[in-house]
Structure formats: C-alpha cells, structure tokens
Amino acid sequence: MTNGITITGLTKRFGAVEAVDDLSFDVPAGRVTGFLGPNGAGKTTTLRMLLGLVEPTAGEALIDGQRYQDLGTPRRVVGAAVEAMSAHPGRRARDHLWVLAAAAGASPERVDEVLDQVGLTDVQHRRVGGFSLGMRQRLGLASALLGDPQYLILDEPANGLDPAGMAWLRGLLRRLATEGCTVLVSSHVLSEVAQTADHVVIVNSGRLRYAGPLADLDADGASLEDAFLRLTTSTS
C-alpha cells in the first residue's frame, strides 16, 4: 500500500493574487477523494503544484512521500489529466497515445487496453481536433491510465461527459480505488462527488475549509451541496 498524498503549508502567489494560501491536507491511499471549491478557489493551481508544473511560493506537495519531480518514474506512479495537457488537434487519438506510451515506457498493447477502457476504440483513428469535449475528456483519462498508475489526479474529468459517461466515470474511479489506486479528482458536480468519493477536501479563496470523510461532512443529514455552500459562502 502507498502513503497517499500529503500537502503541507502549500502556498502560491501570482503577483497580488494569493491563489493558494497555506493549504494542508492529506489524501488517503486507496480512496477516491473529491477536491471541491468555487471558481477561482485554487484547485487547479494546487493540482499543478502537486504535478510539478507550478513552483510553490511556500510549502510542499508530496506523492508517496516524494515531490513529483523526484519520483524515479513519475508516469508509472502518477497518471494525471489536468487542463492544458491537451493533444495536438491534427493528431489521431491512437497516435497521440502511442507517443505518450513510449514516453511512459508503456507497451503498444497498453494503448489498446486504455482505448477500450475509456470507450474510444471505435474513434481511435479520428483526429483529436474533431473530438467533442466529452471525447477529449476520455482521451485525457486514457493518457492518465497508460502507465497503470498508483495515483490518479484528475481536474474536472466529468466536465463535458453525458449522463452515461458520468456513470461510466463513477464506476471506473470506484473500481480503480478498489484495486488500490489513490484518486484525487476535482469537480463542480457535487452530486457526482457525493456518489463517488469516500473523502472530501473543500477549499475557498485558496484556504482549506474541510478535509475528511464524506460521511462526517453530511453526518447531520445535510446534503453535500448544503455543506459546500455553508463552507464556501461564509466570510470567516
């Protein structure tokens, strides 16, 4: 079993903007953790720091006890789909995954497996530029899964998925967690998170508002939406 993700005092300032402000929380191993917050709360910036794409102003974000950039073979440990990791529009879906598979040390057979896993086998020879948002999301997931990672970090993967796609994504994330994968997933779709996550982290204005089991958050019978609005609209 791995050690999960540990975020300690993580801070990022962009000029005068305090995007992430002294954030500390743990993401337990082998669970699905929902990462929630209003627009501009600092979720994407946090995920980008976790993946070594943005340098923190202060603090650290560790995956299995190490910074992403210090992991020996990061793509085999961590699969990620965050915004701005998009495919070239002129490239065919399958070719896009082949290039990534080579970089991740994954076999060509693994490309077939992940295409099948995300339901893109039938459109694998189409150019990515013609893909719908939902299809691009599935392709992002396929690239994240290529290295058969122990950690999966996804930024808004439900965005653009149709109801069947959402149900599929829920099943996939639950199954991966059952197999021991640690899943951190940001989302605005609270009903999806309520059905998928074991654990929830809520941020507002770059600060932590809640980190803990989903069951504890709505223990008083309030829905996740009630709790979310209470935690993200109060001024304290």
Ligand X SMILES: Nc1ncnc2c1ncn2[C@@H]1O[C@H](COP(=O)(O)OP(=O)(O)OP(=O)(O)O)[C@@H](O)[C@H]1O
Question: Of 7, 4, 85, which Cα lies nearest the Cα of 50?
Answer: 7
Cβ nearer to ligand X, comparing 25 with 106: 25
Question: Should residue 14 be labelled a site residue for ligand X when binding is judged by CB under 6 A?
Answer: yes
Q: Decide if residue 137 touches ligand X (CB under 6 A).
A: no
Report the residue from 21, 43, 96, 123 that binds ligand X according to the rule CB under 6 A. 43
How far apart (Å, rounded) are the C-alpha atoms in residues 39 and 42?
Answer: 8
Sheet holding 207-213, edge to edge: 78-81, 151-155, 182-186, 32-36, 199-204, 207-213
User: How many residues line the site for ligand X (CB under 6 A)?
Assistant: 11
Interface of this chain with ligand X, residues 168 to 187, rule: CB under 6 A:
none
Closest CB 234 distance from ligand X, rounded Å:
18
The dihedral built from the CA positions of residue 43, 36, 184 and 167, taken in this order, carries a sign that is negative
Does position 41 bind ligand X by CB under 6 A? Answer: yes
- Is 234 a binding residue for ligand X by CB under 6 A? The answer is no
- Give yes or no for residue 139 binding ligand X (CB under 6 A): no
By the 8 A CB rule, do 202 and 46 touch? no
Residue type, position 228, single letter: F
Interacting residues toward ligand X by CB under 6 A: 14, 17, 19, 37, 39-45
